[in-house]
Amino acid sequence: MRIRSVRSLIYLAGGLGLIVAIFAAAEFFDAALAAVCSPSTLISCEVVDKSGLTTTLGVQDWIWGIAGFVAILVLAALAEQHRRDLRYAYALLGLTTAGVGLSIYLLSIEVFRIGALCPVCFTAYVFGGVAWAGAIVLVRKMSAAVRGPKDVVPDEAIA
């Protein structure tokens, strides 16, 4: 997979994740939307929303989603702009790794404490995971591109 394709995958996952997070915010404010994605008591946005367990560190979970996906898009753009500077790609990897960790935590709260799974939230978790996988591949490919062929030492490495 080419670096450009990996970047496109990260942008796609980040953009779709942002849309899903915005929908999660909308359903927080409009109970009718939460009812739409509640086909049963086990798979239910409404049950999760009404559980009282949808804040982390005092911040609503949908805010984490919106902020996280915006940050993914910004860092992906910075990594693309600064192709020879691996700091942005590593920052993207760090952010997406933290996002996956938060997603696992939130999923465990849904499943084990609330006893219901929010399909909108789960979709956001999946898009975060895709962005994370893309960030891993991006760092590996960008590192290889910056290093160049193994037998040639770049001037920067000598200084």
In a domain, 157, yes or no: no
In a domain, 158, yes or no: no
Give the model confidence (pLDDT) of 8-50 as tens digits.
999 999 999 999 999 999 998 888 888 888 889 899 988 998 8
Q: Domain holding 110: CATH number? A: 1.20.1440.130
The pTM for the full model equals 0.87
Rounded Cα distance between 7 and 77, Å, is 9
What's the mean per-residue pLDDT of the chain?
A: 90
In a domain, 123, yes or no: yes
In a domain, 27, yes or no: yes
Give the model confidence (pLDDT) of 74-87 as tens digits.
999 999 998 888 99
Q: Which is nearest to 51 in space by CA: 116, 102, 135?
A: 116
In a domain, 159, yes or no: no
Provide the β-strand partners of residue 85: none
Q: Which structural domain range is residue 98 located in?
A: 3-147
Q: How many CA atoms lie less than 13 Å away from 43 in the CB half-sphere?
A: 7
Rounded Cα distance between 18 and 16, Å, is 5
In a domain, 130, yes or no: yes
In a domain, 60, yes or no: yes
Rounded Cα distance between 43 and 30, Å, is 18
Which amino acid is residue 35, in one-letter code? A
Total domain count, the chain: 1
Rounded Cα distance between 13 and 97, Å, is 14
In a domain, 139, yes or no: yes
Give the model confidence (pLDDT) of 92-123 as tens digits.
999 999 999 999 999 999 999 999 999 999 99
